């Protein structure tokens, strides 16, 4: 593989010949998709005083005003929260390092499925951390029951995505960069990211760190892509059982319905923006090291080049994969039933350049990480026929992306005397 490394302006201080992943330090932005990786450092936060849903004009203006980077268009990088009435955390970095392989989008498909690396811990939480679940497992099951009752009373609500959190506090300091590098190694097919997010006054930097298998939207030239995931099963260490679970997922009528709701919503949102759009009729199976998912790779061509990757992401968000359907009713129920603030979880993270090209992944399989610990998030779609215990188990399995990585990062931390 030949990597052409474009140092857009100066390389980040002290990075030498380091890759973007090596160069990452807390406060930076990092995003990789297959062989493409972006590291951003410094620069003003853009559109911090407007709701994220209305940020595109300010972003366009900031990109127009920014110098080109080593002959390439300027880029905005960062994260958008679940609630787009709140501001995004987007930057036009002062220093940008990009490695541009020939890999193209990974689009969630084949997301590292053959490279199963289950790591050391099979449990939900690293042994080396104090753990608090919010809500408790019992309360999450009660919330799923409540969602099922709501959908029974109001059948026009087809799907509701409910999440829960785990707070991990290791004995020593947690290093976001270490967690990021473990994730990148364990999940080579994922969208791996670390995005700076607001921290408490006086506290050190805080980052949203994760390895998402899900592409919300990308645009490269005319080519538009989205790869929604919905319908999940935990992987098994036993190959025969692993295959059985994958086949059961593909054969599950409930999961096919749950998946189709997402694909229909995305196709409907993309159609007015696209000249052509190809939506496969049946989903395929994709694997991460911890989960099987149903996935539908949607491809199209943008009708008007003025529509940027950020415009596409904002037009699609929140998809029923992380919110529900219909959107407004599902969002209202999430606000009523969930007992915590999603913040940047289930928003999106990535980059967009001044030509409108860009990539945005859904911020899942992730955690808010600072030196004191991590707040992990995992959710799942509830439809008629969902089972509270199975939904709880699904979120436990989804947590493993981050618990396994934090476990390894903490175990590998040097002892400080």
Ligand X SMILES: C=C(O[C@@H]1C=C(C(=O)O)C=C[C@H]1O)C(=O)O
Active-site residues, by number, are: 159, 214
Q: Which of 76, 229, 260, 298 binds ligand X (CB under 6 A)?
A: 229
Measure the CA–CA gap between 230 and 415, rounded to whole angstroms: 41
Stretch in the footprint of ligand X (CB under 6 A) among 40-48, 85-93, 227-235, 331-339: 227-235
Q: How far is the CB of 32 from ligand X (least distance, A)?
A: 19
- Establish if 338 lies at the interface with ligand X (CB under 6 A): no
Q: Which is nearer to ligand X, 26 or 289 (CB)?
A: 289
Q: What do you get for the CA distance between the two ends of the chain, in Å? A: 41
Contact partners, residue 94, CB within 8 Å, separation at least 6: 9, 41, 42, 43
Minimum gap (Å) between residue 134 Cβ and ligand X? 15
Q: Which residues are registered as beta bridge partners of 130?
A: 169
Residue 259, SS3 per DSSP: helix
For residue 341 the two structure tokens come to: 């603030």
Toward ligand X, which CB reaches closer, 20 or 297?
Answer: 297
Bridge partner residues of 99 (DSSP): 5, 37
In the numeric block, the tokens 């999106």 are attached to 348
Instruction: Show the site string, 363-382: x = touches ligand X by CB under 6 A, - = not.
Output: -xx-----------xxxxx-
For tokens 């990009």, name the residue: 98
By CB under 6 A, the residues from 317 to 336 that bind ligand X are: 321-322
Which residue, 60 or 317, has its beta carbon nearer to ligand X?
317
User: How many residues sit close enough to ligand X to count as binding (CB under 6 A)?
Assistant: 18
Contact segment (CB under 6 A) with ligand X among 58-66, 72-80, 84-92, 224-232 equals 224-232
Helix ranges, 187-321 (H): 239-251, 253-270, 309-316
Minimum distance from residue 127 beta carbon to ligand X (Å):
23
The binding track of 379-408 with respect to ligand X, each residue x by CB under 6 A or -, is xxx----------------x----------
Considering the complex, what minimum distance in angstroms separates the CB of residue 350 from ligand X? 16
Tally of CB atoms within 10 A around 388: 19
- Number of residues assigned to the chain: 417
Subset of 202-221 contacting ligand X (CB under 6 A): 214
Pick 180 or 302: Cβ nearer ligand X:
180
User: Sign of the C-alpha dihedral, residues 295, 228, 319, 82?
Assistant: positive
Q: Which of residues 124-153 bind ligand X (CB under 6 A)?
A: none
Q: Is the Cβ of residue 364 or residue 392 nearer to ligand X in the bound state?
A: 364
Please, are residues 62 and 92 in contact by the beta-carbon 8 Å criterion?
yes
Per CB under 6 A, which of residues 293..312 are in contact with ligand X?
293
CB of 12 or CB of 381, closer to ligand X: 381
Q: Which of residues 19-78 bind ligand X (CB under 6 A)?
A: none
For tokens 């947690």, name the residue: 174
Tokens 């994958």: give the residue. Answer: 246
Among 59, 77, 161, 310, binds ligand X (CB under 6 A): 161
**Residue carrying structure tokens 């089972």:** 387
Residue 25, helix vs strand vs coil = coil
**Which of helix, strand or coil describes residue 169?**
strand
Least distance in angstroms from the C-beta of 193 to ligand X: 14
CB distance 212 to 361 below 8 Å: yes
**How far is C-alpha 326 from the geometric centre of its chain's CA atoms?**
22
Minimum gap (Å) between residue 276 Cβ and ligand X: 25
**Residues making contact with ligand X (CB under 6 A):** 161, 163, 214, 229-232, 293, 321-322, 364-365, 377-381, 398
């Amino acid at each position: 593989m030949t990597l052409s490394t474009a140092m857009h302006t100066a390389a980040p201080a002290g990075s030498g010949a380091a890759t973007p992943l090596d160069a990452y330090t807390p406060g930076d932005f990092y995003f990789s998709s297959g062989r493409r990786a972006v590291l951003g450092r410094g620069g003003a936060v853009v559109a911090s005083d407007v709701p994220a849903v209305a940020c595109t004009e300010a972003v366009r203006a900031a990109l127009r005003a920014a110098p080109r980077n080593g002959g390439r268009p300027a880029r905005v990088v960062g994260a958008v929260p679940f609630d787009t009435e709140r501001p995004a955390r987007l930057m036009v970095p002062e220093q940008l390092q990009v490695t541009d392989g020939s890999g193209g989008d990974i689009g969630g498909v084949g997301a590292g499925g053959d490279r199963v690396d289950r790591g050391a811990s099979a449990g939900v939480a690293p042994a080396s951390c104090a753990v608090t679940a919010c809500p408790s497992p019992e309360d999450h099951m009660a919330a799923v029951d409540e969602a099922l009752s709501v959908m029974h009373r109001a059948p026009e609500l087809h799907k509701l995505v409910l999440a829960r959190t785990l707070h991990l506090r290791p004995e020593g300091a947690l290093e976001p960069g270490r967690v990021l590098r473990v994730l990148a190694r364990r999940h080579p097919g994922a969208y791996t990211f670390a995005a700076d997010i607001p921290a408490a006054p006086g506290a050190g930097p805080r980052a949203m760190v994760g390895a998402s298998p899900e592409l919300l939207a990308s645009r490269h030239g005319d080519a538009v892509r989205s790869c929604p995931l919905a319908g999940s099963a935990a992987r098994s260490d036993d190959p025969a059982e692993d295959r059985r679970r994958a086949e059961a997922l593909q054969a599950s009528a409930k999961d096919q319905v749950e998946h189709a709701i997402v694909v229909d919503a995305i196709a409907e949102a993309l159609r007015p923006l696209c000249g052509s759009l190809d939506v496969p009729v049946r989903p395929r199976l994709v694997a991460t090291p911890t989960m099987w998912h149903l996935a539908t790779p949607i491809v199209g061509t943008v009708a008007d080049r003025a529509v940027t990757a950020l415009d596409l992401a904002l037009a699609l968000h929140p998809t029923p994969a992380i919110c529900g359907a219909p959107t407004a009713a599902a969002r209202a129920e999430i606000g009523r039933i969930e007992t915590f603030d999603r913040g940047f979880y289930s928003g999106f993270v990535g980059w967009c350049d001044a030509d409108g090209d860009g990539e945005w992944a859904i911020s899942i399989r992730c955690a808010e990480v600072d030196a004191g610990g991590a707040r992990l998030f995992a959710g799942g779609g509830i439809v008629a026929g969902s089972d509270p215990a199975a939904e709880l188990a699904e979120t436990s399995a989804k947590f493993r992306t981050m618990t396994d990585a934090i476990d390894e990062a903490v175990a590998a931390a040097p002892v400080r005397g």
